[in-house]
């Protein structure tokens, strides 16, 4: 759905804003040659299209005051998400580099990284969640996301051919960083997947959307998680991505090394994986509360 909306906004700008079409073609070429993903192109393109439609000209024709005024408008008037604001700033930076406008890049606001720790469900909470799914499709979807540590987009794009029951592997294709990877298929998932396939008869994609030959939408995955969470007593602000966070944290707690985990998660940099060390309760850790020492538990 978001992809369709982005494409429509870009097409509108091509028709209504002078020079936008040629500018977008140049942007598309640089994104492809730079090895960036199609989602990056759509995110940058959508944001650049919106600022172009707002001023009725392409951003390279705007001055510093106009750009800063628009960014302020996004933060205060529109109250856009941090993600959209980030894509707007990064998209403009990328565009200005293409046109050798390095002086314009410096004047854009810097974005501070959010130091939020991920929301992680306990093993007990995960089991409650998986049991709470009302229909088989929902239970299998949530179990598969957790058991393989998948992103929402990855589970939605899984095709039947990507599930290797003989080798117990799942082929994840063209992920966030345009890289393929394999992750283990839990033997415990095999029976459930076969039962699901026999009941739902998926065609091309493992989890079909409303129309034939289309994958399940991002909204459909989010809805499944949200509705299932309502049936159990979990007060954490959990999302579908929390299952991937839980997968990573639990594997560390069960003894997996960080380097192996980073490869399974498909992270481009090991530093991204290290955040889970802050939430995992590792064996041999010297972290404890002083409350436990001043009030030691007595053995019955």
Residues designated catalytic: 151, 176, 241, 244, 267, 276
Q: How far apart are the C-alpha atoms of 162 and 144, rounded to whole Å? A: 13
Return the exposure string of 65-87: e unless at least 16 CB atoms fall within 10 Å of the residue's CB, then b: eebeebbeebeeeeebeeeebeb
CA distances from 73 to 60, 66, 67, 76, 86 (A): 19, 10, 10, 5, 14
Answer whether 207's CB lies under 8 Å from 215's CB: yes
Which residues lie across from 184 on neighbouring strands? 169
Residues with Cβ within 8 Å of 63's Cβ and at least 6 positions away in sequence, in order, are: none
Q: How far apart are the C-alpha atoms of 173 and 183, rounded to whole Å? A: 11
Residues with Cβ within 8 Å of 29's Cβ and at least 6 positions away in sequence, in order, are: none
Eight-class DSSP state of 78: I
């Amino acid at each position: 759905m978001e992809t369709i909306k982005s494409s429509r906004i870009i097409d509108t700008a091509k028709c209504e804003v002078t020079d936008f079409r040629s500018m977008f073609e140049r942007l598309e070429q640089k994104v492809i040659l730079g090895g960036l993903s199609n989602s990056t192109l759509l995110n940058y393109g959508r944001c650049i299209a919106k600022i172009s439609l707002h001023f009725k000209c392409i951003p390279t024709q705007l001055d510093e005051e106009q750009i800063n005024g628009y960014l302020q408008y996004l933060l205060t008037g529109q109250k856009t998400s941090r993600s959209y604001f980030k894509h707007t700033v990064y998209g403009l930076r990328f565009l200005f580099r293409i046109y050798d406008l390095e002086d314009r890049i410096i004047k854009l606001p810097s974005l501070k990284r959010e130091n939020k720790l991920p929301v992680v469900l306990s093993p007990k909470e995960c089991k409650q969640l998986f049991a709470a799914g009302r229909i088989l499709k929902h239970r299998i979807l949530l179990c598969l996301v957790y058991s393989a540590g998948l992103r929402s987009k990855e589970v939605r794009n899984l095709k039947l051919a990507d599930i290797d029951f003989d080798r117990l592997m799942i082929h994840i294709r063209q992920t966030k960083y345009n890289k393929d990877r394999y992750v283990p298929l839990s033997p415990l998932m095999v029976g459930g997947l076969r039962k699901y396939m026999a009941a739902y008869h998926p065609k091309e994609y493992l989890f079909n959307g409303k129309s034939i030959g289309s994958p399940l939408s991002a909204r459909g995955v989010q809805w499944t998680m949200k509705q299932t969470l309502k049936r159990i007593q979990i007060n954490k602000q959990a999302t579908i991505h929390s299952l991937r966070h839980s997968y990573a944290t639990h594997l560390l707690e069960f003894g997996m090394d960080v380097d192996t985990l980073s490869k399974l998660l498909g992270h481009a940099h090991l530093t991204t994986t290290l955040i889970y060390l802050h939430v995992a309760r590792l064996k041999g850790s010297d972290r404890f509360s002083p409350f436990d020492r001043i009030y030691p538990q007595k053995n019955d």
